[in-house]
Amino acid sequence: MRDYFIRRFLLILPTLIGATLVVVGLTRVVPGGPMERAMQAALASEHGGGSKNAGSSLTDEQKEEMAAYYNFDKSYLPAYAIWLGIWPREETKQLIKFDEGKNEMPITLKILLPRAEWTATNAYKVSQVTVKRDGTLNGPDADVIAHFKTRAEPEKQRVAVFHPAFSGLLQGNFGLSTSYNLSVLDMMLSKMPVSIFYGLLTFFIAYMVCIPLGILKAIKHRTVIDNVTSILIFIGYAIPGFLLGSLVVVYLAARMGWFPTEGFTSENFASLTFGGKLWDIIHHAILPLACYMVGSFAFLTMLMKNNLMDNLAADYVRTAIAKGSSYKHAVLGHALRNSLIPIATTLGSITTVFVAGSLLIERIFNIDGFGLLTIQSISDRDYPLVMGILTLDVILIMLGNILSDYLVALTDPRVRFN
């Protein structure tokens, strides 16, 4: 079994590479993107309005510098290798254009100092140097020059000066958001508390309700209780969560005023007492939680009921009753444990509570969580943020699958993974 789980963990990286390779390929072919948006912003600031021909006012050098900034100056595979962190990124890249008749141009180089050497006004070591047409750097500070490389481009009468650095996923760097110019990792971490709150509550409430309800339905099969609860849970299963969210926001929140219409907390949350803050969070969470759980109730309840009924009809349960065991002990002591084995396969989904959330439900209730961040990153064509979210999703889903396998093996001693 140990070898099986080692293989499963080793498969995480190839699976992650396959998923992200596909998404990087899509970002290269879909229309729109950060460069187009930046060109439109540049033209709007120059002419006071937008234009379909957004890049017409930018020089070729400006477009190339913009492409280098967004890592679009590289082809598909090199760009992916840079994002992954197995190929150096060309940071602080400058394209030095040589004037006619000049063989040397002055430039400014700067490197980030160690954090211990930062001051209140400066965190960089700056050096004035010159660069020749062949790419040679000359200056008084050899330490600064040693951090930079050059690439001569004679056909364009220029030299590219850059600082090569391995700074990608393998180094823990998800990059900067092209829409907000913030660290992708910091943005994702800032949304996790909301996602964890809704994810954990949804997870525990669903299992605490569905497992006892499934047991009750199996014992009371074809009774009034079973029929009524089946009708209710299947009605809930047939209604999409986002549709239910739209209905409750309009009727229960906006018209009747029983619940808040949006947000995770109220505007005066900071001024409330501890009890007031607790109630404010609960009051805001009731409607979104109902929408989150409405679909999972039917699946978990019927899974529990059907497996328990199968086990109650098994020979070992009849044998236990024939030997004098009470019906209650046969259900709870024998059949229930075996019926929980399929439930264990779904427990691995707890790893996804860190990024839990429905895109549409969070949009409807305007909850600033992971789901809303996902839909904003896609609509803004914020490719570094999309890649960061996808990476985290794939890792958590695969860890959840491994956890599910472990819980099944722990619950059922007959299971042996090879």
In a domain, 17, yes or no: no
pLDDT at res. 48:
55
Res 396: pLDDT: 87
Q: Does 71 or 119 have the greater pLDDT score?
A: 119
Domain membership flag for residue 363: yes
In a domain, 279, yes or no: yes
Q: Cα-flanking dihedrals φ and ψ of residue 119, to 5°?
A: -115, 180
Q: What is the CATH number of the domain that holds 369?
A: 1.10.3720.10
Residue 131, domain member (yes or no): yes
Give yes or no: residues 104 and 50 share one domain: no
Residue 173 domain-assigned?
A: no
CA 378 to chain centre: 12
Mean pLDDT (the chain, rounded) = 82
Q: How far is Cα 100 from Cα 136, in angstroms, rounded to an integer?
A: 18
pLDDT tens digit sequence for 302-317: 888 998 888 888 888 8
Tell me, yes or no, whether 174 lies in a domain. Answer: no
Could you tell me how far CA 5 lies from the centroid of its own chain?
Answer: 24
Q: Is residue 9 part of a domain?
A: no
Residue 9 has pLDDT above 70, yes or no: yes
pLDDT of residue 55: 47
**Of 87, 103, 120, which residue sits at a domain end?**
87
319-339: per-residue pLDDT in tens? 888 888 887 888 887 788 888
Query: What is the tens place of the pLDDT at every residue in 64-85?
Result: 777 777 777 788 888 889 888 8
In the sheet that holds 137-138, the strands lie side by side as 104-112, 124-132, 137-138
* Pair 141, 258 in one domain: no
Say whether both 292 and 337 belong to one domain. yes
Structural domain ending residue among the three candidates 87, 106, 123: 87
What pLDDT, in 10s, does the model give residues 230-280?
Answer: 898 888 888 887 788 888 888 888 888 888 888 888 888 888 888 888 898
Same domain, 75 and 204: no
Residues 380 and 346 in one domain: yes
**249 shares its domain with 358:** yes
Given its phi and psi angles, is residue 296 left (phi above 0), alpha (psi -120 to 50 degrees) or beta?
A: alpha
Which of 71, 87, 103 corresponds to the end of one domain?
Answer: 87
Whether 196 and 58 share a structural domain: no
Query: Nearest 5°: phi and psi at 18?
Result: -60, -45
Domain membership of residue 131 as a residue range: 90-165
Q: How far is it, in rounded angstroms, from Cα 399 to Cα 418?
A: 18
Q: How many domains does the chain have?
A: 3
Q: Could you tell me if 260 and 111 lie in one domain?
A: no
75 and 117 part of one domain: no
**281 shares a domain with 138:** no
User: What is the tens place of the pLDDT at every residue in 139-158?
Assistant: 888 888 888 999 888 888 88
Judged against a pLDDT cut of 60, whether residue 53 lies above it is answered with no
Same structural domain for residues 155 and 263?
A: no
Write the secondary structure of 67-112 as one string of H (helix), E (strand) and C (coil): HHHCCCCCCHHHHHHHHHCCCCEEEEEEEEECCCCCCEEEEEEEEE
185-191: average pLDDT: 88
Spatial contact of 384 and 174, defined as CB atoms under 8 Å apart? yes
Determine, yes or no, domain membership for 176: no
Arithmetic mean of pLDDT, 172-193: 86
Q: Is residue 319 domain-shared with residue 361, that is, in the same domain?
A: yes
